[in-house]
Amino acid sequence: MIQTPYLLFLGDAPDQLAAKVGQGIKDWRPENAVGQYRMPGCGADLGINDLTLEAAKAAGAKTLVIGVANRGGYISKAWKEVLVEALQLGFDVASGLHNLLRDEDELVAAARVNGRTLFDVRIPSVAYPIANGVKRTGKRCLAIGTDCSVGKMYTGLAMDAEMQRRGMKSTFRPTGQTGILITGGGVPLDAVIADFMAGAVEYLTPDNDPDHWDHIEGQGSLFHVSYSGVTMALIHGGQPDAIVLCHEPTRTHMRGLPDYDLPSLESLRDTALPMARVANPACQIVGISVNTQHLPEDEAVAYMAEVEARMGLPTVDTFRQGAARLVDAIARL
């Protein structure tokens, strides 16, 4: 088990979006976030205390969590110096990067000498089956996006929290490193061999009570040429009964792909729904979740009202407004 609380390591993250792992932990498990560690040039700020390693240790932090999801998922030499020092001071280190801690000789040696543990949460721990497409009992909701990092995880967490408040049967099912670090379990889907990804989603969302909802954490985007495969596995392996479309309206291009424009919500709807109905003919799109963090309140409200009128679906920012209207929509299915 990864020991809490955490010191969230932001390193030299270029912008706020690159620190989405740390941001997710701070937003959904604030009691586990003692502070943040930022290197010179860091462009992200979680709005919590900046602490040195020594101060964080004195404040009770037990694990340094790499709170950055950089393109390619690598550990730089500059990062490594801080991580070694953290291990020497008695921290465990946890990471969801593709560049595994256990593959870095300096970190392995420092952990061994100092009796500390390295946690790579992006290593699949189960031999997942190939998907069989058999219909499972229970209900499932999947958030899919016009792009990466538009609020799919926040949407699932918010809907699960709202259902829990209402006494409904509900579970959030993480498929990425941030969700796993928030909840303590899940499937690191983008680290699963391609042929087994859909089967891993079936494994993650097994048979359940007829009135139980699994909220499956979305990944990637069908329109993102780098990461569309993981989205397709979620759609077919998840066999969702309900889909929520997720969007961030201030983007000028796909994340990391300046030559690719974002699709419209209409394009996402018209592409995703036929694919979902291959695995579950009864699937319906029930609402839209808009990430309005970069819009002032009045512009956010006006934008969501326009989208709702255009699309004919309840449209909310689940972080600003909560997920009640989305839960109302799926409760009617």
The DSSP annotation for 255-313 comes to TTBTT-PPPPHHHHHHHHHHHHHHH-TT-EEEEEEE--TTS-HHHHHHHHHHHHHHH-S
Using pLDDT thresholds of 50, 70 and 90, give the confidence band for residue 209.
very high
Q: Note whether 114 and 106 are within 8 A (CB).
A: no
Using pLDDT thresholds of 50, 70 and 90, give the confidence band for residue 98.
confident
Q: Which residues of 18-33 are buried (b: 16+ CB within 10 A; e: fewer)?
A: bbbbbbbbbebbeebb
Distances (CA, A) of 177 to 119, 197, 199, 227: 11, 15, 19, 15
> What is d(CA 12, CA 14) in angstroms, rounded to the nearest whole number?
6
Is 21 in a helix, a strand, or coil? helix
Map tokens 């829990």 to a residue. 164
279-294 pLDDT per residue, tens? 999 999 999 999 999 9
> What is d(CA 134, CA 145) in angstroms, rounded to the nearest whole number?
26
Residue 125: pLDDT over 90: no
34-85 pLDDT per residue, tens? 999 999 999 999 999 999 999 999 999 999 999 998 665 678 889 999 999 9
> What is d(CA 206, CA 137) in angstroms, rounded to the nearest whole number?
8
Map tokens 């499937």 to a residue. 187
CB atoms within 10 A of CB 47: 7
DSSP annotation of 50: B
- Position 69 scores a pLDDT of 80
pTM: 0.89
Q: Work out the percent of the chain whose per-residue pLDDT is above 70.
A: 99
CB atoms within 10 A of CB 50: 14
Structure tokens at 55: 């101060």
Map tokens 């998907």 to a residue. 131
Q: Work out the percent of the chain whose per-residue pLDDT is above 90.
A: 89
146-160 pLDDT per residue, tens? 999 999 999 999 999
